[in-house]
Structure 1
Amino acid sequence: MWLEIQIFGFRALWSPYFLTFIIMLGLVYFIITGPKRSIFGEVSKPTINQQLFFYTGLILLYLVKGAPVDLLSHIMMSAHMIQMSILYFVVPIFFIRGLPTWFIERFIELPVIKPLFRFFTHPLIALALFNSLFSLYHLPAIFDFSKGSPVAHFGITIILFILSFCMWWPIVTPLKSYNTLNPLIKMGYLLGSILIISIACALMIFSSKSLYAAYTSQGAWIQALSLCVPSDVLIGLSGTLSGAEMFSPLSAQEDQQLGGIIMMFLQQIIYGFVIAWIFFGWFSKKNMGVDPMPDSLPYSK
């Protein structure tokens, strides 16, 4: 498959413009949290762990939205699901844990941001919004529309990416003032997310036919490819491209079923690690004689 997809060229495979954007983000982080952090007052440099988290998040973001995985996501549903799993279930955690607390505090206290942040990071709202919209996105009509429109695809991706941060915030927030969910509720919160996403995955796994025109209809597939393949390259290949099956050993239905299975299991594995992190942190505090349960309601903000 690797040799076959090289016909789309370097720009489609490696997204040099997006790579430049990622490098710029890394430089901005380095400058703001390093040499120029004095503009924020007497603040400390990010710890080694924070820097590792942030830069790893940038690398993962590039790998799923700039490297060949992005091209493959327009060819195979299974690749799309790998992309979604990392983009929405891993990258936000690394960015949240990678930003210095003083930077986060200054950002979320901005007059315009504060009320919106309070609303969209409320656990029930964050859980319902992200998981319901993520599931709705994978309804065939919405999915095919997104794949056929650059504006819709970009807009939906950005909205889900922002909402994924909101969804993870109550669980991995580094700010004590927002860390008000007790460990049992955090674990229940994640189990609820697993259940909602698993229902959407089950629809793909047990469907008796391929649901998405973006992977089965040649016209819709070419339109989806145009999201990451330069138009001049697509025009030059127009006589040789017959459909996604050129690059996949699986039928469209088998690939769709594999995609649902991949999403279900990757989400469960990622969430399982986070649940274990919450549980063992809670267990350690109990052994040290520290009450991990707050006196207030599960979410008092």
Structure 2
Amino acid sequence: MRGDHLLYDVLLGGLLEWNIPFLAGFTCTAVLYVYLIKRFENIKIYHKQPLLFFLSLGLLYFIIGSPLSTITHLSFSLHMMQMSILYFMIPPLLLLGMPYRLYQQAWKIPILKRFSKFILPPKISLFIFSLLFLLYHSPVILNNVVQNTFFHNGYLLLLFILAFSMWWPITSPDPKQRFGRRRMKRYAFLSGVVLMPACLLFIVNAFIGGMNNPFASQFTAQLCAPSQASSVNLLLPAPFNTTYDQVAAGTLMLGVHKFGIMLSFRLGNKVKER
């Protein structure tokens, strides 16, 4: 019965909402993209690159602007699926969806030129991303980060920016800036190795019982969700509230990262400049 009351609270209490400002912003971005490719490119909106760009925008809104963004915070496995798609699927799709000529025109904008001076090399971005991602999901750090909404959102935005630099050698809009086939494979292997500790964090915690019931306390119940959602652990059935949830979280991260690498390789070979 208590779970039923909590379900009504989540469904009717304003937690499951569509983010209209995000929707408006993404719609404007899509319209601007269509205008720019018609001006600078000789491709149709139903060609591969525009479709990849629209797909990435749709995924991004679905992940951070739909009711799913709250639902995924009810368990570590759902949360990790959200984070993995956000950082391992959306950035490469966005980059592959950017036509080369449009990319060239974009970097002629003065503010972007100045911003380019602060872009880190891909390997450094990869190591920093992996470290920040690991720290974010450690109990002590996460407990403090989520207390400040501004800092929390800034932390996630920094990870998102680093993800683009991390994926650049594989899916850069400029083919000349992509690694060669063999070097790309070594880089992909390296990315899997340095991201492994974050995956193992969930799996090890599950077996040592450090966070056996991740949503039994206020801290874990507030994982990327509004404070009103305390005790939402009662909403989901097993295995979401069991040890298997954390094992699934680590496994999902590895799986989505590997899938993102394979998909980027395949799509990168198929996307042809026109």
TM over 0.5: yes
How many residues get paired? 262
Where in structure 2 are the equivalents of 1:92-107 lying within 5 Å? 92-107=91-106
Deviation at 1:184, TM superposition (A): 0.8
Normalised TM-score (structure 2): 0.80
Q: How does 1:147-162 map to 2 (within 5 A)?
A: 147-162=146-161
User: 3-state SS of the aligned residue for 1:206?
Assistant: helix
1:264 aligns to 2:254 (yes or no): yes
Q: Percent identity at matched positions? A: 25
Q: Deviations over 1:204-257 (max 9, x none)?
A: 102212449973313662585317xxxxxx3xx8xxx64524434233533222
Deviation at 1:272, TM superposition (A): 3.2
Take 2:5 and 2:60, find their aligned partners in 1: how far apart are those partners?
A: 24
* Match status 1:13 vs 2:10: no
Q: Contact 1:201–1:261 at 8 Å: present in 2 too?
A: yes
One-letter code aligned to 2:116: F
Kept in 2, the 8 Å contact 1:77–1:256? The answer is yes
Judging changes above 3 Å, is the alpha-carbon distance between structure 1 residues 6 and 182 closer, same or farther for their aligned structure 2 residues?
farther
Over 3 Å counting, the alpha-carbon distance change for 1:184 and 1:80 in structure 2 is same
**Matches of 2:88 and 2:41 in 1, distance apart?**
29
**Could you say which residue in structure 1 is the equivalent of 2:31?**
30
Q: SS where residue 104 of structure 1 aligns?
A: helix
Letter in 2 for 1:30: V
Q: Tell me: CA distance 1:113–1:77, structure 2 relative to 1, closer, same or farther (3 Å).
A: same
| Corresponding residue for residue 40 of structure 2 | 43
Please tell me whether residue 218 in structure 1 is matched to residue 207 in structure 2.
Answer: no
Q: In the aligned structure 1, how far is the partner of 2:154 from the partner of 2:258?
A: 27
Letter paired with 2:151: A
RMSD: 3.2
**What is the TM-score with the length of structure 1 in the denominator?**
0.74
Structure 1 residues 253 and 144, CA, compared in 2 at 3 Å: closer, same or farther? farther
**Would you say 1:70 and 2:69 are equivalent positions?**
yes
Aligned CA distance change for structure 1 residues 219 and 162 (closer, same or farther; 3 Å)? closer
Residue 151 of structure 1: CA displacement?
A: 1.2
Within a 5 Å distance, the mapping from 1:143-182 to structure 2 comes to 143-179=142-178, 181-182=179-180
Between the aligned partners of 2:195 and 2:246, the Cα distance in structure 1 is 15
1:59–1:8 CA distance, 2 compared to 1 (3 A): same
The verdict on how the C-alpha distance between 1:12 and 1:45 changes in structure 2, with shifts beyond 3 A counting, is farther
Larger radius of gyration: 1
The separation in 1 between residues aligned to 2:100 and 2:141, in whole angstroms, is 37
Gaps of 5+ in 1: 228-233, 283-301
Aligned twin of 2:264: 274
**Regions of 4+ moved over 4 Å:** 1-6, 275-278
Q: 1:177 to 1:268 in 2, by over 3 A?
A: closer
1:92-116 Cα offsets, whole Å, 9 max, x none, are 1121122232332233344443364
Stretches of structure 2 that go unaligned for 5 or more consecutive residues are none
Give the structure 2 partner of residue 249 of structure 1.
Answer: 238
